[in-house]
Amino acid sequence: MLRVTKNRILALGTIAATLAAYGQLRPDTAIEGFRIPLFDETGYRTWQLRGELATYQSETQIKINGMRVSQFVADEQNREIAILTSPEAIFHFDTTTAYGPGELHVETKAFEITGYDWIWLGEKKQITFNDTVKVTLYEEIGDILK
């Protein structure tokens, strides 16, 4: 038989509150100022999705205004290695992808890229821009442009 402890009561309360909140989410429900971390199978944080305003579209999709995605090295140091920002995006939780018709800005220590009409494939760590791309490199690339 399980012992009733303070921690178990708190855990059950948290689960109940989450289910109650989930049951009330309907398309076009808006959430202000949110943050969702994503972890690898070993428990290290790999990504963090933030937004100024999220509008619930379905169980797997949200529309985000003021999107910021941070990528981390999956280890104890938890270093941020890339930042992706966009004024508007559609994010899919089931495929870890996002897309948007407007601007996407990607920043790392080695480069910055800004482009429009984009799609981000999180699992593949791949971004495709379809319009007006600007790239700024901060590290030497050698003779590849000769």
| pLDDT score recorded for residue 145 | 60
The answer to whether position 13 is within a domain reads no
Is position 113 within any domain?
Answer: yes
**β-sheet bridge partners, residue 62:** 56, 91
Q: Write the CATH number for 79.
A: 2.60.450.10
Mean pLDDT by 10 residues, the chain (146 residues): 33 38 65 86 88 88 92 88 95 87 95 95 88 91 66
pLDDT score of 113: 96
Assigned domain for 10 exists: no
Task: Answer yes or no: is 77 within a domain.
Answer: yes
Q: Give domain status of residue 146, yes or no.
A: no
Domain tally, the chain: 1
Q: What is the pLDDT of residue 146?
A: 60
pLDDT at position 107, please? 95
Residue 16 lies in a domain: no
**CB contact set of 1 (below 8 Å; sequence gap of 6+):** none
Any domain includes 17: no
Asked if residue 67 lies in contact with residue 80, where contact means CB atoms within 8 angstroms, the answer is no
Q: Is residue 83 part of a domain?
A: yes
Sign for the pseudo-dihedral over CA of 82, 93, 57, 14: negative
Which residues constitute the domain of residue 124? 26-137
pLDDT given at position 8 = 33
